[in-house]
């Protein structure tokens, strides 16, 4: 087997805390702008993240609301309107710098190409949201950094379906065992797993305590090497490409449960 050929990055929760700092607050702004008293607090939003896709999430929430429109067509129309509003608000927040990259992400992404490791994006978020985030991080030339960008608009089925990963592998002409996915959520991990891609988990705020079996490594983020499982070599400094390459070459799934502030247990 040759070396690692590509890193496939999830977006929401992995590149940035987009759900906590962007989407949830933008959904609430959309409710307000459309004259609805609905609000999603952090706990409710955490539950709703089991449904991938912002429009699908809105429809799921409406199904349990007595004050949602009764007819399916009206619900669809309202969900579309709210979603468009949310996306405009989200992009505004991203452009205003309210949703920065998670620490450590930029360094790994920028180091890859020089070492012959391509960077890819595999998300089922809408393309407009993804482009806003990447442009805010790298400026108008952001697309040159990525060998592939698969978004929700490109697939019929969102994560946890593996379609987005399979499409990215097709476009890169790579096998699943030549790439490493970086994910944060159970749905994203399941999508990578079903596509056959080894994956690493960087815990995000909503999924920090989630049990995500099958990862080859899991830890608090690329900015620090403490509390990773399997342990990173040494104790100080960020996780870099050599760590990811080593874990990928080992390819041993770890099973772990993390509680904030606690030692790692496997």
CA neighbor of 222 nearest in space, from 120, 119, 103, 109 = 103
What character string, x for contact with ligand XBP (CB under 6 A) and - otherwise, covers 109-128? --------------xxxx--
Q: How many CA atoms lie within 13 A of 68 on its CB side?
A: 20
Size of the chain, expressed as the number of residues it contains: 266
Among positions 12-31, residues that touch Mg ion (CB under 5 A) are 12-13
Give catalytic status of residue 10 as yes or no. Answer: yes
Among positions 173-202, residues that touch ligand XBP (CB under 6 A) are 185, 188
What does the DSSP 8-state code read for residue 232? P
Among positions 19-78, residues that touch ligand XBP (CB under 6 A) are 19, 23, 52-54
What does the DSSP 8-state code read for residue 257? B
**Does 129 interact with ligand XBP (rule: CB under 6 A)?**
yes
- Phi and psi torsions of 12, nearest 5°: -70, 120
What's the closest the beta carbon of residue 45 comes to Mg ion, in angstroms? 14
Q: How many CA atoms lie within 13 A of 161 on its CB side?
A: 13
**Does 188 interact with Mg ion (rule: CB under 5 A)?**
yes
Residue with smallest beta-carbon separation from Mg ion: 13
Give catalytic status of residue 227 as yes or no. Answer: no
What's the closest the beta carbon of residue 117 comes to ligand XBP, in angstroms? 21
CA-CA distance, 99 to 94, in Å (whole number)? Answer: 5
List of residues contacting ligand XBP (CB under 6 A):
10-13, 19, 23, 52-54, 123-126, 129, 152, 159, 185, 188
Catalytic positions, please?
Answer: 10, 12
């Amino acid at each position: 087997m040759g070396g690692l050929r590509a890193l496939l990055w999830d977006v929401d929760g992995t590149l940035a805390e987009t759900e906590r700092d962007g989407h949830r607050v933008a959904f609430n702004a959309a409710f307000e702008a459309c004259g609805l008293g609905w609000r999603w607090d952090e706990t409710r939003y955490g539950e709703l993240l089991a449904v991938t896709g912002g429009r699908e999430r809105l429809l799921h929430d409406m199904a349990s609301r007595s004050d949602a429109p009764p007819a399916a067509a009206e619900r669809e129309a309202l969900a579309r309107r709210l979603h468009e509003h949310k996306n405009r608000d989200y992009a505004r927040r991203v452009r205003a710098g309210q949703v920065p990259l998670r620490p450590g992400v930029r360094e790994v992404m920028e180091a890859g190409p020089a070492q012959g490791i391509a960077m890819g994006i595999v998300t089922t978020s809408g393309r407009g949201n993804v482009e806003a985030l990447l442009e805010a991080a790298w400026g108008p030339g952001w697309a040159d950094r990525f060998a592939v960008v698969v978004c929700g608009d490109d697939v019929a089925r969102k994560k946890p379906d593996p379609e987005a990963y399979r499409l990215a592998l097709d476009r890169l002409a790579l096998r699943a065992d030549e790439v490493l996915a970086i994910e944060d959520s159970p749905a994203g991990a399941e999508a990578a797993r079903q596509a056959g891609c080894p994956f690493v988990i960087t815990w995000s705020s909503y999924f920090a305590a989630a049990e995500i079996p099958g990862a080859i490594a899991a830890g608090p983020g690329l900015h620090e090497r403490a509390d990773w499982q399997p342990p990173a070599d040494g104790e100080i400094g960020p996780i870099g490409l050599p760590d990811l390459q080593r874990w990928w070459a080992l390819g041993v799934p770890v099973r772990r449960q993390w509680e904030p502030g606690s030692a790692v247990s496997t």
